[in-house]
Amino acid sequence: MTVRDALQIARERNTDLVEVAPTAQPPVCRMLDFGKFKYEQAKKEREAHKRQKVVSLRQVRLRPKTGEHDIQSKIAVASKLLDQGNKVKVLVLFRGREMTHPQLGKELLDNVARALAEKASVERPPSMEGNSMSLILFPHPTKQPKKERENEKEKEKAGETVDA
């Protein structure tokens, strides 16, 4: 159908001629209320935005001379952050003469990565950035069976609390 004919029919029906697929050959148009069409598109966008999961980058800082127990507690903190679905940047800060021994920082970061291997994967291996060495870990994706997700949604609707 020609554009002129389509516009004429749209005017007769008091609707707008909206191009819905401009890349198709030939382009696809519909006769509809443009305001309603824009509202529906915005509504779909909002729904898609709600379903997106935001992953933030959290940071855990260490020093080359940090004690073993303190390292274990930092690993526990990083583990909790990974369980929440965040990426974790493990940072080893060097001061003064510590800069002459970057292998100590690399060993420390490797130990942390090994300790968190079951919960996370290395996104970026240890690298020097000025007076610090860092490593970025991202959590393994956790897949829940479909039935469990449906049960959680039903409980949330009913007002019950969901234990994670």
d(CA 160, CA 52): 24
Domains of the chain by range and CATH?
3-41 (3.10.20.80), 57-139 (3.30.110.10)
pLDDT at 164: 44
In the numeric block, which tokens belong to residue 65?
Answer: 């001379």
pLDDT at 26: 85
How confident is the model over 87-121, as pLDDT tens digits? 999 999 999 998 898 999 999 999 999 999 998 99
In the numeric block, which tokens belong to residue 79?
Answer: 């583990």
d(CA 150, CA 62): 41
pLDDT at 76: 94
Residue 86 pLDDT greater than 50, yes or no:
yes
Which has more confidence, 95 or 153? Answer: 95
Which CA distances in Å does 98 have to 65, 70, 91?
9, 19, 14
CB 32 within 8 A of CB 54: no
What is the Cα gyration radius of the chain? 27
Which has more confidence, 54 or 2? Answer: 2
pTM, two decimal places: 0.56
Residue 4 pLDDT greater than 80, yes or no:
yes
How confident is the model over 137-151, as pLDDT tens digits? 989 887 555 555 566
Quote the mean pLDDT of the chain: 85
Which has more confidence, 159 or 105? Answer: 105
What average pLDDT does the segment 12-40 reach?
Answer: 88
